[in-house]
């Protein structure tokens, strides 16, 4: 049993606040790239059932609703607006502040669960939270950034589900995973495959006491809860299936900006160290290779105390590189 040490989590929280201080400023107007400012009148319209439908009337002349799963937090935005809060305050409470605090804490506690080392968890959380890809995503695609920040927490709760024979764990996991679907269902689909691979690995190599038969009842409870909690958007998406299909089948935007080197170094191609140079590919500084080289070389140092899960996550990282590079060499 590892003693609880809250020094590193507290420092991560302080670091998250300092590096995102403008997000915590109540008077700052936050808008950048694809993240626009919404007028109060428009936000108030969100406090209606229309966001659950297949047509969004408050965008231009209206458009198909391809992301019905956004309904809960947009509905909350509308409610907050009717209660006297501004759009900026609503966005801070549902996106900016959670991202700044959740990413370092969720990654810290996930890494700590496997490594049983506070310092290693702290270093890992820094790498996860302050890599250039995540930092640039925070300037435009906040739903994806929120899903990224929540993903380690989902993984942590899933590991508890398959490791702990408790009735409470499947419920907590279903609630946390459903929260991710509300913000970004596409990322949660990728997370689903990660969880499946981890479950397969755990049953095959991790614990002799862990078997599909003993874990299946808990996973069944989680699956049922997930289905019922997400019925509101799964059923609501059926009428818009053609529009969704058209979007899914199109080519990935920005495919030409990524390659194997960018994926290995976690270097966003628009990163400059200051304001991102959108659609202008930047050279990768040599020191960005230091972390991936150290991380993968550590897999070659086989020691008795090395957790078996390290090799799974190493293989998962390589798979992530292959996917992130997209069609480029």
Residue 180: is its pLDDT beyond 90?
A: yes
- The H or E element spanning position 152 is helix 142-163
Cα–Cα distance for residue pair 89/203, rounded to 1 Å: 45
User: Which tokens in the block code for residue 275?
Assistant: 């304001």
- The predicted-structure confidence for 238-247, as pLDDT tens digits, reads as follows 766 676 666 6
**The pLDDT value given to residue 278:** 84
**The pLDDT value given to residue 309:** 84
Other CB atoms within 10 Å distance of the CB of residue 198: 19
**The pLDDT value given to residue 248:** 62
Could you tell me which of 186, 118, 122 has the C-alpha nearest to residue 151?
A: 186
- The predicted-structure confidence for 307-318, as pLDDT tens digits, reads as follows 888 889 999 998
Task: At 259, give phi and psi (nearest 5°).
Answer: -155, -175
Please compute Rg for the chain using Cα positions: 21
**The pLDDT value given to residue 244:** 64
- Report the Cα 138 to chain-centroid distance in Å: 11
Residue 269 CB contacts under 8 Å (≥ 6 apart), including other chains: 257, 258, 262, 281, 282
- To 10 degrees, what angle do helices 142-163 and 212-229 make? 140
- The predicted-structure confidence for 83-128, as pLDDT tens digits, reads as follows 989 889 999 999 999 999 999 999 999 999 999 999 999 999 999 9
Task: At 153, give phi and psi (nearest 5°).
Answer: -65, -40
Could you tell me which of 71, 74, 106, 66 has the C-alpha nearest to residue 91?
A: 74
Other CB atoms within 10 Å distance of the CB of residue 235: 11
Band (pLDDT 50/70/90 cuts) for residue 289 is very high
Could you tell me which of 182, 180, 179 has the C-alpha nearest to residue 190?
A: 180
The pTM of this model reads: 0.90
CB 78 within 8 A of CB 43: yes
Highest-confidence segment of 11-20, 37-46, 231-240, 262-271: 11-20
**DSSP structure string for 182-251:** HH-HHHHHHHHHHHHHHHHHIIIII-TT--HHHHHHHHHHHHHHHHHHTHHHHTTTGGGHHHHHHHHHSP
């Amino acid at each position: 049993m590892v003693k609880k040490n809250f020094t590193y989590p507290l420092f991560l929280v302080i670091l998250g606040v300092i590096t995102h201080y403008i997000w915590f400023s109540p008077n700052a107007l936050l808008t950048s790239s694809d993240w626009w400012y919404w007028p109060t009148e428009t936000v108030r319209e969100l406090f209606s059932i229309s966001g659950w439908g297949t047509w969004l009337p408050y965008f231009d002349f209206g458009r198909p609703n391809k992301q019905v799963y956004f309904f809960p937090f947009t509905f909350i935005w509308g409610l907050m607006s009717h209660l006297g809060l501004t759009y900026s305050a609503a966005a801070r409470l549902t996106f900016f502040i959670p991202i700044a605090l959740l990413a370092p804490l969720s990654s810290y506690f996930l890494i700590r669960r496997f490594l049983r080392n506070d310092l290693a968890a702290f270093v890992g959380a820094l790498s996860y939270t302050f890599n250039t890809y995540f930092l640039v995503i925070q300037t435009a695609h906040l739903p994806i950034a929120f899903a990224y920040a929540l993903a380690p927490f989902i993984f942590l709760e899933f590991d508890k589900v398959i490791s702990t024979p408790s009735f409470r764990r499947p419920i907590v996991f279903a609630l946390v995973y459903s929260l991710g679907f509300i913000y970004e269902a596409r990322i949660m689909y990728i997370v689903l495959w990660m969880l499946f691979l981890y479950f397969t690995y755990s049953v095959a190599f991790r614990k002799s006491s862990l078997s599909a038969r003993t874990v299946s009842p808990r996973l069944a409870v989680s699956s049922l809860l997930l289905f019922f909690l997400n019925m509101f958007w799964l059923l609501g998406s059926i009428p818009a299936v053609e529009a969704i299909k058209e979007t899914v089948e199109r080519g990935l935007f920005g495919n030409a900006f990524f390659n194997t080197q960018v994926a290995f170094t976690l270097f966003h191609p628009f990163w400059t160290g200051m304001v991102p140079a959108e659609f202008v590919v930047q050279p990768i500084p040599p020191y960005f290779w230091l972390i991936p080289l150290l991380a993968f070389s550590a897999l070659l140092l086989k020691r008795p105390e090395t957790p078996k899960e390290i090799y799974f996550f190493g293989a998962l990282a390589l798979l992530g590189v292959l996917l992130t590079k997209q069609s480029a060499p």
